[in-house]
Structure 1
Amino acid sequence: MKETLATKVSKRKTFAIISHPDAGKTTITEQLLLLGGAIRQAGTVKGKKSGKFAKSDWMEIEKQRGISVTSSVMQVDYAGHQINIVDTPGHEDFSEDTYRTLMAVDSAVMVIDSAKGIEPQTKKLFKVCRMRGIPIFTFINKMDRDGQEPMDLIAELEEVLEIDAYPMNWPMGMGKTFQGIYDIYNNRVELMHPEQNGDNDFLPLNEEGEIVGDFPITTSSIYTQAMEDVLLLKEAGNPFSEEAIAEGELTPVFFGSALTGFGVHTFLDAYVDFAPSPGPNKTEEGETILPSKEELTGFIFKIQANMNPAHRDRIAFLRICSGEFKPGMDVTISRTKKKMKLGHTTQFMADSRESVESAVAGDIIGLYDTGNLQIGDTLFEGKDAVQFEALPQFTPELFMKVTPKNVMKQKSFYKGIQQLVQEGAIQFYKTYHTEEFILGAVGQLQFEVFQYRLLNEYNSEVEMTPMGTKIARWIEPDDLNPNMSSSRNLLCRDRFDQPVFLFENQFAMRWFEDKYPDVKLTALL
């Protein structure tokens, strides 16, 4: 019997993994892929010596540094669902990529290091999730190492992030004494060392919450302490509410160790039970587009150049919001009103890919693009035009002048800059009078990655001269007067040819506002 569109959509679970660097985000992604049978062996992010790298870190610079600086998209089938995993950059200098990615998912998994607790980057990303009201699932990682007390971690989670927490399971010990988890939701104990307890991975609990049967673990004070903690949680903690989870008001909390894979299976089983399938999306006009709408709609939330260095390709990531994708179908780009045929498309397993035969709402597919698409573009099928709400953009704070070292290689320099700025991590400006090239970014690492990729992907070595922090403000073209430019408020054009001032500091901006009161200055988000 042929599946309906609604049935296909209901099987989709699309989530982003967010965390602070080194919390274990990429490692847990590996374990999820392993459980879904997508890979045979989990890589390790710290794979410099062994040559074994994380599957989701495909860019060379990520392998060298052991960090994620791009978003990877992966699909895995699990328990009758298609799970779309988006592994986002952990480094705060690439938070803009992560913010946009959070617009393209239906839930988020927050990974927290048990020793470090809530870190600044996690807090920022979490706020975006709350703003969108998307469900958040929390995995407290590295329980096989010494960390903070679980009760303190739960309290910090609730106080710092202002969300209610419900522990789905509870750790029995930590570090060298870590025995496993007391699984509140499934009414069982999951053992870290089953060989010490008759080779049982799980032991059932009776109505009193005690292990059924005579096992060595029952004599452990660590198990007894966990039982007491759980009793306290049941009496004084938050009640479990599926509705509150769906509204992003309550986060289910899981403990485990991504490096050993312990607790990840239990987490994933609960995730597919409670994570939402794709929901409606809003257009700029305030209309709601349901996933069940027959015509295909979707938006571009990410563009990545040179995912395959051998072919110098450029991939635009499309989040499908409604309808069903079929190869060869025609769609319209809302911004340009141009039609395009969706012929050559791909699905990802980080650095490997395969052609897409069918995709529905919730799925993320890659479109091979020759430069027609931009981040934020809406694609729609049929005659009824659709334009989804704009994706967030951020005003850069750091600026660099950039020039090619070899004048003979200017062609590759221009091509590299043009393609890399379209990915959205770096912004590009030209000074109004002298047409010098300036790059703007949220963080220093973005410049380093940009310089590295220009050299390695476009064979263009560049000089980068720091300009320090500036305040970027856009003005209406009608207000433009080239004489407004000075050393303290540098007049430039952005890559869309819009006029923008780079102010030296707040004082320079206030002076400008006083001198030109009729000129409106605008910042991005």
Structure 2
Amino acid sequence: MSDQDLETRAPSTAAANRLATEAGRRRTFAVISHPDAGKSTLTEALVLHARIITQAGAIHGKAGRRSTVSDWMEMEQARGISITSTALQFPYHSPEGQDCVINLLDTPGHADFSEDTYRVLSAVDCAVMLIDAAKGLEPQTLKLFQVCKHRGLPILTVINKWDRPGRHALELLDEIQERIGLKPTPLTWPVGIAGDFKGVLDRRTGNFIRFTRTAGGATAAPEEHIAPEQAHDAAGIDWDNAVEECELLSADDADHDQEAFLQGVTTPVLFTSAALNFGVNQLLDNLTRLAPPPSGQADVDGNVRPVDAPFSAFVFKVQAGMDSAHRDRIAYARVCSGTFERGDVLTHAATGKPFVTKYAQSVFGQQRSTLDNAWPGDVIGLANAAALRPGDTLFRDVPVQFPPIPSFSPAYFSVARGTDPSKHKQFRKGIEQLEQEGVVQVLRSDRRGEQAPVLAAVGPLQFEVTSHRMATEFNAPISLESLPYTVARAVDPEDAPFVDRQVSTEVLTRTDGVMLALFTTKWRLQGFCEDNPTVTLRPLVAAGDD
């Protein structure tokens, strides 16, 4: 479309100013970490400090067991891990007078759900990398960092669990710089060693922020801001050590530089105890101050669609089963440009068909409410969106197509069969829906037939989620028969029959039309390639790769 066409569809001056103001208020970020680093606890602590909830956790089950607002699935509460990503939107008024709208996306930490995390990272402007003070950088954290780096996302680092025994703060900073190549620039510094967390030194103001514990960490921890002159009397030798270490940091040029942060050269660092709600206010304040607002999004051709262009959005997740009373399906879409108004008729870029947004919703964990307007950076929930898939683009007026989300290379394969023949329709519907959500990949072949599709997954926990949801949501229990394959490669249709005839090899077709050759081991694959150099086998995107 020509520049003249864009100009004729440009918003009025007042509308353009409103759009710029609203986009500038948005902070859209994801929290990433290795499992058990305290990610969901931190997510809930952020919401608590924003005064959206009054007590961390909701009371469920016996003995007052708590679960977070972001981990709402039954399996998540039972296992204590995040299985699916969750969107939380809430307003926040910073102490410096900024009125912001936070779009916080809590991601699964477990490597088996890497695909879900990858989708989320395609929809944010910044990432908060959470590190356990005792364990430091762990394998899954490193993989997620590589994804952030590939996408050009600036990263804030939070060293969590400082209330427990752990490693020295300077040692953790050295590890960050050596292993991921970002220079740490602490914004706060702990007063007290790991396990004896008294508060933090705010490096910007020089003040000592002293925290007070609350019962079980259920409410926001009271803070006392103490001037540097009185800090020694309040914290003694711990304050003196913190001041000395901060002087060392400044001598090493480890002071915050906003431009270097946005360019992915440095990572601001904060110290917290999410379980006690210590240091959480400082994270919120620095996110609103430092994290970038929404900017233009590159389309499939590499052209940037500016935030003030006509409306466009990118679907990064589809989720069903959020409300057992209403078996609808929610498509999560990140607004990339323009203003969204409920009831708008958009165009689905993949099909060219209209998409009506009458049932647009604002999502806060499992809770939903009607949404009338949204702006760049916001995450909107589109109910009853049966036609939408992760990676789809929606637009109004001026066409655009954003890059699709790749499917990861599966490493686990199982044949799924319904255990009750009378549930045939439910079986097919359930498998189809879980595939559309991206819970598992589904492979088929004429040899196996429709009643025995092969489920392909990055990790075995995906099979557990599939079995659980098939039984509870679709009333169609399944049995899973594990297959011996561990490696998948894309194969051209003309080579597929030959590859399928080989020993310890099978070719199946994924729903998107890609034909996958499955091999029992990487050595079997290597031997096949050496024996058949004319057959082209293409690697798929691996978990944690670009």
TM-score category (smaller protein): over 0.9
Deviations 1:58-110 (A, max 9, x none): 11100111110100000010120001000000111101110111110000011
Q: 2:209 aligns with which of 170, 185, 190?
A: 190
Identity %: 38
Output the CA distance in 2 between the equivalents of 1:143 and 1:506.
42
Which residue in 1 is equivalent to 2:164? 145
Deviations 1:164-206 (A, max 9, x none): 11011111113553221111122200112499xxx9701122x
Contact 1:397 1:442 in 2 (8 A): yes
Which residue in 1 is equivalent to 2:436? 422
Which residue in 1 is equivalent to 2:79? 65
Contact 2:186 2:254 in 1 (8 A): no
Which residue in 1 is equivalent to 2:465? 449
Output the CA distance in 2 between the equivalents of 1:177 and 1:113.
15
Deviations 1:477-523 (A, max 9, x none): 35443784344221212123443221223344345445655443223
Deviation, structure 1 residue 422: 1.1
Contact 1:296 1:325 in 2 (8 A): yes
Which residue in 2 is equivalent to 1:51? 65
The 3 A distance-change label for structure 1 pair 500 and 44 is same
Deviation, structure 1 residue 314: 0.9
User: 1:161-172 alignment to 2 at 5 Å?
Assistant: 161-172=180-191
Is 1:330–2:353 an aligned residue pair?
no
Output the CA distance in 2 between the equivalents of 1:182 and 1:34.
22
Output the CA distance in 1 between the equivalents of 2:284 and 2:27.
11
The 3 A distance-change label for structure 1 pair 292 and 190 is same
Output the CA distance in 1 between the equivalents of 2:474 and 2:153.
39
- 1:130 is paired with a residue of what secondary structure? helix
User: 1:22-37 alignment to 2 at 5 Å?
Assistant: 22-37=36-51
Q: 1:40 aligns with which of 54, 79, 84?
A: 54
Deviation, structure 1 residue 48: 7.4
- 2:64 is paired with a residue of what secondary structure? coil
Which residue in 1 is equivalent to 2:6? none
User: 1:46-445 alignment to 2 at 5 Å?
Assistant: 49-79=63-93, 80-175=99-194, 177-193=196-212, 201-205=224-228, 211-212=229-230, 216-217=233-234, 220-293=236-309, 295-382=310-397, 384-435=398-449, 436-445=452-461
Which segment drifts farther, 315-324 or 404-413? 404-413
Deviations 1:122-150 (A, max 9, x none): 11001111112211111111111111001
The 3 A distance-change label for structure 1 pair 460 and 150 is same
Deviation, structure 1 residue 240: 2.2
Q: Name the TM-score, length of structure 1 as normaliser.
A: 0.93
Which residue in 2 is equivalent to 1:5? 19
Contact 2:133 2:194 in 1 (8 A): no
Output the CA distance in 1 between the equivalents of 2:265 and 2:420.
55
- 1:374 is paired with a residue of what secondary structure? coil
Q: 2:511 aligns with which of 479, 486, 495?
A: 495
The 3 A distance-change label for structure 1 pair 175 and 45 is farther
Runs of 5+ unmatched residues, structure 1: 206-210
Matched pairs, number:
513
Deviation, structure 1 residue 358: 0.3
Contact 1:47 1:66 in 2 (8 A): no
Output the CA distance in 2 between the equivalents of 1:81 and 1:297.
22
Output the CA distance in 2 between the equivalents of 1:328 and 1:194.
47
Contact 1:203 1:212 in 2 (8 A): yes
Amino acid at match of 1:257: S
Contact 2:111 2:140 in 1 (8 A): yes
Deviations 1:338-362 (A, max 9, x none): 1111111111110111111100111
The 3 A distance-change label for structure 1 pair 88 and 49 is farther
- 2:150 is paired with a residue of what secondary structure? helix
Amino acid at match of 1:410: H
Contact 1:157 1:165 in 2 (8 A): yes
